[in-house]
Amino acid sequence: MRPTPLLAVLLLPIALAAPGCRRPAEPADRLVVFAAASLRDGFTALGEPFRRAHPGVEVRFNFAGTQELRTQVEHGAALDVFASADPRHLRALAEAGLVEPPVVFARNELVLAVAHDAAATVRSLADLPQAGRVVIGAAEVPVGRYTLEVLDRAGAVWGADFRARVEAKVVSRELNVRQVLTKVSLGEADVGLVYRSDVASAPPAVVVVALPPEVNVVAEYPIAIATHAPRPALARSWVDLVQSVEGQAALTRAGFLAAPQAVVSP
């Protein structure tokens, strides 16, 4: 299937620097955070305590699919911090010298988001091939890659053709996880595979179905400061906040799993 048009909401204008051109000076009272679409609720909640701790500082978020954000960084977008839903993308940027070494700050897992009208048919992952319309992430998107991994693992439980039977019902492959959830919420699909954090605030029309642990995937979320961050001190403060007790509590409320490393003191 061809990806549907990208509908990611960008909350700031992204200035791309053409090769050989000087990028305009960035304001000292602004923090620019690039973050995977699934981090919208958790990071937005942390914006207020960050502003209280840094009076006069504006926090600007750019939420989109991780692969979309990586492309923007590679093309010279100005940013201070990048939080990814996939370690591979940040690792590639670190190897290219565009971000500092990343650290994992949160984890996530997949669930089924089921439209209310389809809830009687799809009660578990085993029922997924019986769904009329399935929507998943595109293969180049972290949630899409994790989805295919889940379907492959499920084949060991429900038959080697399980993935093929599910993919036969796929009606679209979206470019970020929020688009997957939106399709289900609007009734344009019966089932979608999304992160647990995405359904933490899902509308009543969406029924959440957990996946069996033996086939599920735990996604690690790394964060890194841009190598040429215009405001490195503010960037470090943001990274410290998301790793703090307060930050981890906000992420837990947003549906994320605890990070594997120790939490830093606030």
- Measuring CA to CA, which residue among 133, 217, 219 is closest to residue 180? 133
As for how many domains the chain has, the answer is: 2
Instruction: Dump pLDDT digits (tens) for 8-41.
Output: 333 444 344 444 444 445 556 899 999 999 999 9
Q: Percent of the chain scored above 90 by pLDDT?
A: 83
Taking 60 as the threshold, does the pLDDT of residue 242 lie above it?
yes
My answer on whether 61 and 91 are in the same domain is yes
Domain span at residue 202 reads 108-218
Average pLDDT, the chain: 89
**How far apart, in whole angstroms, are the C-alpha atoms of residue 78 and residue 231?**
11
Instruction: Read off the pLDDT of each residue in 100-105 and give the average, rounded to a whole number.
Output: 96
My answer on whether 103 and 117 are in the same domain is no
**How far apart, in whole angstroms, are the C-alpha atoms of residue 66 and residue 74?**
12
pLDDT score recorded for residue 21? 43
My answer on whether 159 and 210 are in the same domain is yes
pTM: 0.83
Instruction: Dump pLDDT digits (tens) for 129-159.
Output: 999 999 999 999 999 999 999 999 999 999 9
